[in-house]
Amino acid sequence: MTRPLPRALALAALLVLLLAAIASAATVRTATTPAQLRAGKAAYDRAVVAGFAKATKQLDAQLRKHPKKPTVVLDIDETAMSNWGCLDAVDFDLGGLATCVVQGKSVANPAAKRLIAHARARKVAIAFITGAPEALCAARRKNLVAQGIKGPFTLACRPAGDTADTLVPYKSAARKALQKRGATIVLNVGDQASDLAGGVAKSTVKLPNPIYTTP
């Protein structure tokens, strides 16, 4: 007879899984020190707001071309949602990123919410493509909704079998899959070059991420 895994243990197991996923995609801390990150937080916040303002302009420019099934693709971590709080709490060790993702503690970027509202008011579909593993997909969705990013949206998580050194094949294939279903990806926003590489988007915006990089 087996007992259900206690919640704390289940979370710990997911944490291990996520840390392995982060390792396989080789997410690495930048050389920016915790003190430098904290000192630069206001400038970082402003740059994110500016990035989403640029994204909104690009979206509007694309919509003037009357695309079929216009869709905005967003990355989640350090794009739609911020993990700053969890990371700051552990001096920006990447374990903080895992904690936020596993425990659903990521916080929506207000600028991302404004872009989503702007897009939806113009009948644009929203699709999230995250590097988080499939085992955490339900938790990711729950976190988005709890942060006021309600459905409908589609959410793609990284398949368990994908152990590539880079997220580019998975993320670009996920965009292609949307395109195959008739979507025109008018805008793709992410904080990593790997969110945007591989094409399949009419326009892209790269947000800054002074904390970590994911190939």
User: Interface residues with Mg ion (CB under 5 A)?
Assistant: 75, 77-79, 191
Residue 2 CA to residue 14 CA, distance in Å, equals: 19
Minimum Å gap between C-beta 82 and Mg ion is 10
Is 141 or 191 the residue whose CB approaches Mg ion more closely?
Answer: 191
Is 77 or 196 the residue whose CB approaches Mg ion more closely?
Answer: 77
Using an 8 Å Cβ cutoff, are 125 and 70 in contact? yes
Task: Enter the tokens of residue 25.
Answer: 């995609």
Residue 59 CA to residue 185 CA, distance in Å, equals: 10
Minimum Å gap between C-beta 155 and Mg ion is 14
Instruction: Tell me the residue nearest to Mg ion as measured from the CB.
Output: 77
Is 78 or 204 the residue whose CB approaches Mg ion more closely?
Answer: 78
Is 13 or 28 the residue whose CB approaches Mg ion more closely?
Answer: 28
Is 90 or 193 the residue whose CB approaches Mg ion more closely?
Answer: 193
Is 14 or 132 the residue whose CB approaches Mg ion more closely?
Answer: 132
Instruction: Sort residue 169 into left (φ over 0), alpha (ψ -120 to 50) or beta.
Output: alpha
Q: Give the CA angle between residues 21, 44, 97 to the nearest 5°.
A: 20
Minimum Å gap between C-beta 86 and Mg ion is 14
Q: Is 65 exposed, middle or buried (0-12, 13-18, 19+ CB in 10 A)?
A: exposed
Minimum Å gap between C-beta 78 and Mg ion is 4
Minimum Å gap between C-beta 1 and Mg ion is 42
Minimum Å gap between C-beta 130 and Mg ion is 7
HEC string of 56-79 equals HHHHHHHHCCCCCCEEEEECCECC
Cβ-based neighbour number of residue 6 at 10 Å: 9
Task: Enter the tokens of residue 136.
Answer: 């955490």
The partner residues of 154 in beta bridges, in order of sequence, read 127
